[in-house]
Structure 1
Amino acid sequence: MSGHVMVFAPDPQLTITIDQPANETEIHLHPGGQGVWQARMIRCLDVPVVLCAGLGGEIGQVLEPLLAGEGVELRAIHRESSSGGYVHDRRDGKRHEVAAATGHPLSRHELDELYNLALSEGLGAEVCILSGPGHPSLVAPEIYRRLAADLGRNGSRVVADLSGPHLAAVLDGGVSVLKVSSEELVRDGLATDDGEAELIRVIQALHAQGAEAVVVSRAEQPALVLIDGEMAQLDMPRLEVADPRGAGDSMTAGVAAILAEGGDIRLAVRTGAAAGALNVTRHGLGTGRPDAIAGLVGRVRLSPLQVDRQDRLTPDELAARTTRS
């Protein structure tokens, strides 16, 4: 298979949603988690995708056929420990968490099996997405560092959508594209605030540490990107928001899909922005009509930003922030 994407999703989750769109209560079961939502959007863009995951326990038994029904090519290891999931109630139009189980960390043997599976599949893919675990404790950052390094040095383009220690780990391994939100950068102590000047300084330091291109999403504000050493912002039309969740994952998926098809990085980030914008107009993470996304791409603009070359954050300063956080 060529021109496809491998998504490393170590611990997909079972999502149970209680809804009441009319007069009757409905219960919906879906596979979820960052990697699943990214894979779903890649399929919406008509690009083949392989999902590498670990599944275990009763939840894993339910997840496997649900994932197979997503239209992605599932490659899974079967673990002894249980996968996680959550129950949400949105009968009043808002999302309320009823119960959640993060699942159990993968054992050393399970991680070895999943690593080998992802490496094998990733080496045959044009692009590999490294998506984060449902909880930081489930998969050690070192797994991500090794996977980014092994895939990258053997010709695969690695796209990482991570935060915290897992972000720091893949920078050490090296990535083609790093996607992170401004909220995550501030939460993790990498940025002192979400102002444009501070985020630009952080983006440049992330680039110096090992990310060829960097995309920082900023909720309702234009995303900031660094491509070929130059800063720009992604300008696009505003759309009414139905559900704000999932925009960042859809953006990452759009970037990976276009790169897998041989598109350049500028078209990739514009498509990612369009996919993320369309996703928030819908109820359903990682979903969207490909024709609607294509129609929005033409309205997305990369506007160059003037940067103060003297006001830079060094990689050592960024590393010190990581250590403190």
Structure 2
Amino acid sequence: MPVILTLTMNPALDVTVEADRVQPTDKIRCRAERYDAGGGGVNVARFAHAMGADVLAVLTVGGPTGKHVVELIDAASVPNVPVAVQGITRQSLTVNEGATGQQYRFVLPGPVLTAGEQRRCLDLLADAAAPADFVVASGSLPPGVAPDFYQRVADICRGRNARLVVDTSGGGLTQLTSGVFLLKPSVRELRECVGRPLDCETEQVAAARGLIDAGRAEVVVVSLGAEGVLVVTARESSRLSAMPVTAVSGVGAGDALVAGVVVGLARGWPLPTAVRYGIAAATAKLGTPGTSAFSRAEVDCLFDGFDVTVGR
């Protein structure tokens, strides 16, 4: 049975290309295109699988792009359960500009999901969550899905004794009220969730602890980009530094962080150690093109060879 189950309500076919320069009006001639299965939970499943974890990816799929996404997941030997929907699975486009080294990301909203399609996802989750140690609900909610959908997921996981990890934004984040084991917002998402600027670490810790005190999550892990990761529980907080790396692509780094943390926790590691493993996974991901996966050996090497600075 899977140790880690991921739920992706809005997967994507990630298309990555290179172009000399991105500018208006002119045709942008692209090259070196690559295609990856994407969307938060799909990425977490692929990355956790690469690190040796037992996973099961549950995702909605529709149309030719949905079929392509499943083919790519199958090619990576990641166990998956597609939930067929009437709409067409979205594409996401990343353009790497050669002249400046900048990366441009174009993200589509995704298909509208009917009430019946949403119920099928929840029913399947209810059946599959019982044997899972962790459920990871990750990514945006597509059109037609109520903002409290992830709270309904939390209620199911609580009834199945599965620990829920959520990485989302917007209404999917603000409508969570209880039942989340670990919440992983970026600092921008945390700022939007609490409606305050959060200009310093003290304010960020206070905002994260406010979510914990309100019973919305037990642990909050805030990704700070180049400044590292903030880990907050009811009693403690710490900031772990990022690892130095020359980034090839930042797409999927947050998903790799989540995957590494959950894999570490599934191995029975204490939270600080699991977060260190997540940072190693995110660093490995930054060194790969598109949203391609890395190897477990790369993550283990980074994990063993870098002394993460801890601030309190």
TM over 0.5: yes
Name the structure 2 match of 1:114: 121
* Counterpart Cα distance in 2 of 1:166 and 1:277: 27
* Local SS of the residue matching 2:248: coil
Name the structure 2 match of 1:275: 281
* Counterpart Cα distance in 1 of 2:172 and 2:197: 20
AA in 2 matched with 1:182: V
Cα RMSD for the two superposed structures: 2.4
Residues 146 and 11 (structure 1 numbering): CA distance in 2 closer, same or farther, change over 3 Å?
same
Name the structure 2 match of 1:5: 4
Cα distance, 1:82 vs structure 2: 1.8
Name the structure 1 match of 2:188: 183
Residues 285 and 138 (structure 1 numbering): CA distance in 2 closer, same or farther, change over 3 Å?
farther
State whether residues 249 and 286 of structure 1, in contact with CA within 8 Å, keep that contact through their aligned partners in structure 2: no
Name the structure 2 match of 1:308: none
Name the structure 2 match of 1:317: none
* Counterpart Cα distance in 2 of 1:28 and 1:235: 31
Residues 193 and 175 (structure 1 numbering): CA distance in 2 closer, same or farther, change over 3 Å?
same
Pick aligned residue for 2:226 from 220, 228, 234: 220
* Local SS of the residue matching 1:141: coil
* Counterpart Cα distance in 2 of 1:193 and 1:154: 35
| Aligned pairs for 1:47-66 within 5 A | 47-66=53-72
* Counterpart Cα distance in 2 of 1:284 and 1:16: 8
AA in 1 matched with 2:16: T
* Local SS of the residue matching 1:53: strand
* Counterpart Cα distance in 2 of 1:79 and 1:221: 40
AA in 1 matched with 2:8: A
Name the structure 2 match of 1:72: 78
Cα distance, 1:9 vs structure 2: 0.4
Q: Which runs of 4+ in 1 moved over 6 A?
A: none
| TM-score normalised per structure 1 | 0.83
What do the CA deviations read for 1:122-165 (whole angstroms, capped 9, x no partner)?
22111110112265x35322221011122123211111112222
Name the structure 2 match of 1:131: 138
Name the structure 1 match of 2:24: none
* Counterpart Cα distance in 1 of 2:72 and 2:86: 19
Name the structure 2 match of 1:207: 212
Structure 2 residue runs without a partner (length 5+):
21-29
* Local SS of the residue matching 1:287: coil
AA in 2 matched with 1:173: S
AA in 2 matched with 1:125: A
Residues 213 and 286 (structure 1 numbering): CA distance in 2 closer, same or farther, change over 3 Å?
farther
* Local SS of the residue matching 1:229: coil
* Counterpart Cα distance in 1 of 2:108 and 2:45: 22
| Aligned pairs for 1:81-96 within 5 A | 81-90=87-96, 92=98, 94-96=102-104
Residues 211 and 300 (structure 1 numbering): CA distance in 2 closer, same or farther, change over 3 Å?
farther
| TM-score normalised per structure 2 | 0.87
* Counterpart Cα distance in 1 of 2:79 and 2:52: 13
Cα distance, 1:67 vs structure 2: 2.2
Structure 1 residue runs without a partner (length 5+):
306-325
Cα distance, 1:17 vs structure 2: 2.7
* Local SS of the residue matching 1:90: strand
